[in-house]
Amino acid sequence: MSFSLIFQTLKYNLSYSKNKLLIAIIMAAGPPVVFGHPAEQLAELYRSCPSRQDQVKLLLALFGQKKHLSCPRVFLYGPTGSGKSHVISNILNTLKLPHALVNCVECYTSRLLYDHILNQVAMVTPTPDNDYANYSRCDNMNDFVKTLRTVIEDRELQEETVYIVLDKAERLREMDMNILPAFLRLGELTGCNVCVILLTEIVWEKFRAGTGVCEPLVLHFPDYTKDELLEILSLDCPAGYTKDFYMSYVNIVLSVFYMACRNLNEIRHLAVLNFPKFCEPIKKGEASEEDVHKLWRNIEPHLRKALQTVYLREVSSAQWERMQEEAAAQETLVTNIKTLTGKVNMELPFYSKFLLIAAYLASYNPARTDRRFFLKHAGRTKKTVQQMKRDERASSQLLGPKPFPLDRLMAIFYSIVEGKVAPTANIYSQISSLVTLRLMTQVGSDDQLDGSKFKCTVGLDFMRSIARTVNFDIIRYLYDFV
C-alpha cells in the first residue's frame, strides 16, 4: 500500500483517535520495506539504536522513500534519556537525508532559530573564509518561509523530503506567538516537501495554546524497561572482559540502583564508575570471573554507598576513585562524603554570621513576635491554645521564608549582636555580599522609597551550625520552637 496516500490525509487536522488509528495501520503493515535505502545502512541504523527497533521502524515507515511525501509534522515525546534525539539523528545521518537538527535552547531569539535551520539546510557553516556569515539574513517568519523555499530549490531538493528537527521543542512556546503554528504548517506555507519533527519531554496537550496549531502525529518513546537497560548497558563492556561477565556486573548494578533511579545516563555513569572496584578481586587474583557470589559480596557495600550520592555528581570519576582508595585505607567513607557535600564547612565573617542569623529570624518569625524576643522587659507570654492551633496549621518552617524589610533586619541584628557595632558602610556591604552569595535574596521592586525587601534562603540545619560557631542559641529565638 502507498503510504503517501495516507499522508495526503494528514495534511488536514487529525483528531487524536485518528492519530492512533493511523499508527496502528502503519504498524499493521508489517515489517517496513527497505524504502530504497541500502541494506547495510539500515543494518547499521538498527545496531546503533538498541531497544528502539520498534520506534525506528515506525519512523522509517512514516518517512517512506526519499521522494515520498512525508508526514508533515511529527511530535515525539518521552522522558529524558529515552533516546529520542539519538534515534532521530541516527536515522537522518545514517540514511543521509537532508535535514536540519536544531536545539531550541540554543536559539534564544527567533532569528537564531531561522539562521540555524537555513544554514543547516543550505549546508553553510560559518568559517573565517565566509566571514562567519549566515546563509542569509532573515528577521521574521515570512522571510524564513521564502528563504527556505529558495534554499530548497537551490539545492534541488524539491523532490526529496527535508526534515527539520526541533529538539527541546517546549521552548518554542516561549517564543513569538506565530512560531509554533507556523512550523507545524511549514509544509503548507512553503509548498515544499518538509517534515517538521518536534522532540520534547512533555505531552502534546501542553502545547495547545493560541490558535492555528495543527495537530501533529504524536509518537511516544516509553522509558526503557529493565531488560532493555541491561541490553544497552552491556554495550559499554570494556575490552578484556567477556560480555557475560559484564552483563552479570550490570545486573548487580541495576539490582541496587533500579529502585532509586531509572535514568539511563545516570545508571551508565554509575556503572562505569564502579566497574574497576568490581574487578579488583580478579586483578588481585582472589577470585575468578565465574566466582559471581564472591564478587557480589565485594561490590555490594560499595554500591550501597554510591547510592547515597546518586544524582549528586559532586565528584568526578577520578575523585570518586581516589575517595574509594582513601576509604579502603581508613574506612571513613561516610564522613568523607559528608565533608564533600560540605554543608557546614563554610566560613563567614563574624558580622555576616549575625546578619544571616538576623535574616533567618526575620524570615521565619512573624513580625508581631519581635517585641517578645528582642525587647528586654517584654514579659514572656505563653501561647494561648488558639494561637497554638493556628501555629500548627501554618508552621513557618513548612511555609518557607517570608520577605522582610531591611530595617527589620538591622533592628534584629543590633539586638542580637554582642558589643557596639557602628552602622558603617562595611556592614551594609556585607548584606549585599550575602545576596550575591545567594544566602539571601532580594525580593520585590528596587523602588527607592519602599526600601528593598529580602528573604533568607538557607535551611535550619545550616543556620544552626552557623549559630553554634558564634554561641548563639537560635532555637530559643524561633517562634516555631517556643
Partner 1 sequence: MSTSGSVSKACFVFKPKAGKRKKKLNPADYFVNETGAKTEATRERYDTYQILWEDMNKDIDALQTDIHKKVFDDLVGYVGTTHPGFSLEEGTKQKVSSNEIPTAALVTGVNMPDHGMIFSNLTSLLQDNITPYVARLQAKDCSAMKNIMSKVIMQFMGNKDLLDDDDDEVQVKRISPTMPVLCGWYADAVKRSQSPNKSPSKKRKSSYGQYPPLVIVMEDLEGFPAQVLQDFIIICSQYLSRLPLVLVFGIATTVTAVHTLLPHSVSSLLCMEKFQAQPSTEYLSQVINKTLLTTKYPFKLGHRVFQLLLDMFLYHDFSVVNFIRGLQFAMIEHFFSDLGMLCCGAKLSASRVKAMDHRQLEAIRKSPSFRRHVELQKPQEQRDLLLNDKHTKEVFISLLKGLDSYHGMCYPIMHCLHALTSSLPRHPLGKQLRELYSLVLESNVWETQGYKDAFSLLRLMARDDLVSVLRQCVERLQAWTESDVSEVIMEVQTYKAQLASLGDGSQEEQEEPDETPKERLSKTTKLHDLQNRLRESAKQKKKLTKYEVLRNKILDYLDEIFRTHLPSPTTLPLHEVYYYDRVSTLRRHMNAAPRAAIQTALSNPHFYLQDESLKTEDGTIPNTAPDVCIAYKLHLECGRLINLYDWLQVGNTVRLKSLLKLFNFIKMFLYSLFST
User: Which residues within the stretch 65-104 sit at the binding site for partner 1 (CB under 8 A)?
Assistant: 80, 103
The only residue of 41, 65, 396, 433 in contact with partner 1, by rule CB under 8 A: 433
Q: Please pick, from the candidates 29, 247, 437, 470, the single residue that binds partner 1 as defined by CB under 8 A.
A: 437
Task: Out of 67, 226, 313, 390, point to the residue binding partner 1 (CB under 8 A).
Answer: 313
Residue from 2, 384, 436, 445 that binds partner 1 (CB under 8 A)?
Answer: 436
The string of DSSP codes covering 112-177 is: HHHHHHHHHHTT----GGGTT--S----SHHHHHHHHHHHHHHTT-SSSPEEEEEESGGGGGGS-T
**Does the footprint of partner 1 cover residue 176 (CB under 8 A)?**
no
Cα gap 119→122, rounded to integer Å? 5
- Rounded CA gap, 339 and 155, in Å? 59
Instruction: Note whether 428 binds partner 1 by CB under 8 A.
Output: yes
| Run of H or E including 100 | strand 99-103
Which residue's CB is nearer to partner 1, number 8 or number 265?
Answer: 265
DSSP string computed for 209-233: -SS-PPP-EEEE-PPPPHHHHHHHH
Closest CA to 52 of 216, 250, 244, 231: 231
Residues 17-56 that bind partner 1 (CB under 8 A): none
How many residues in the shown chain lie near partner 1 by CB under 8 A?
Answer: 72
Site for partner 1 in 136-175 (CB under 8 A): 168
Beta carbons within 10 angstroms of residue 225's beta carbon: 11
Phi-psi region of 331 (alpha: psi -120 to 50; beta: other; left: phi over 0): left
> Quick check: helix, strand or coil at residue 300?
helix
Q: Which residues have CB under 8 Å from 457's CB, separation 6+?
A: 401, 438, 439, 440, 441
The stretch among 7-15, 156-164, 296-304, 340-348 that binds partner 1 (CB under 8 A) is 340-348
Distance between CA atoms of residues 151 and 135, nearest Å: 9
Among 347, 379, 384, 386, binds partner 1 (CB under 8 A): 347
Among 41, 248, 336, 341, binds partner 1 (CB under 8 A): 341
Question: Residue 4 or residue 341: which is nearer to partner 1 going by CB?
Answer: 341
Binding to partner 1 (CB under 8 A) within 376-415 occurs at: 405-407, 410-411
Taking CB under 8 A as the criterion, which residues in 245-264 touch partner 1? Answer: 263
Which residue lies nearer to partner 1 by CB, 105 or 443? 105
Task: Closer to partner 1 by CB, 282 or 406: give it.
Answer: 406
Among 142, 397, 429, 469, binds partner 1 (CB under 8 A): 429
Please list every residue from 183 through 222 that binds partner 1, using CB under 8 A: none
| Residue list 112-141, contact with partner 1 (CB under 8 A) | 112, 115-116, 119, 125-128, 131-134
Q: Does 445 bind partner 1 (CB under 8 A)?
A: no
- Binding of partner 1 by 422 (CB under 8 A): yes
Name the residue nearer to partner 1 (CB basis): 82 or 161: 82
Rule CB under 8 A: is residue 345 a binding residue for partner 1? yes
Instruction: Output 403 or 405, the one with its CB closest to partner 1.
Output: 405
Q: How far is CA 109 from CA 105, 112, 115, 134, in A?
A: 10, 6, 10, 15
Cell 535505502, residue located: 37
Selected range binding partner 1 among 151-159, 210-218, 220-228, 344-352, rule: CB under 8 A: 344-352
Residue 69: which region, alpha, beta or left (left: phi > 0; alpha: psi -120 to 50)? beta
Report the phi/psi class of residue 471: left, alpha or beta, with left for phi > 0 and alpha for psi in -120 to 50: left
Contacting residue, 425, 445, 471, 476, with partner 1 by CB under 8 A: 425
Which of 430, 440, 463, 478 is the binder for partner 1 (CB under 8 A)? Answer: 430
Quote the least distance from Cβ 107 to partner 1, whole Å: 9
Angstrom distances, CA of residue 20 to CA of 14, 24, 306: 10, 6, 42
Q: Which of residues 268-297 bind partner 1 (CB under 8 A)?
A: 268-269
3-class state of residue 48 by DSSP: helix
Q: State whether the Cα torsion 111-112-117-121 is positive or negative.
A: positive
Q: Is the dihedral of CA 267, 268, 273, 279 positive or negative?
A: positive
The answer to whether residue 449 forms part of the interface with partner 1 (CB under 8 A) is: yes
| Residue among 93, 225, 424, 469 that touches partner 1 (CB under 8 A) | 424
Closest-CA residue to 273 (of 236, 312, 320): 320
Considering only 43, 105, 177, 375, the residue that binds partner 1 (CB under 8 A) is: 105
Stretch that binds partner 1, among 21-29, 212-220, 291-299, 442-450 (CB under 8 A): 442-450
**10 vs 72: CA distance, rounded Å:** 7
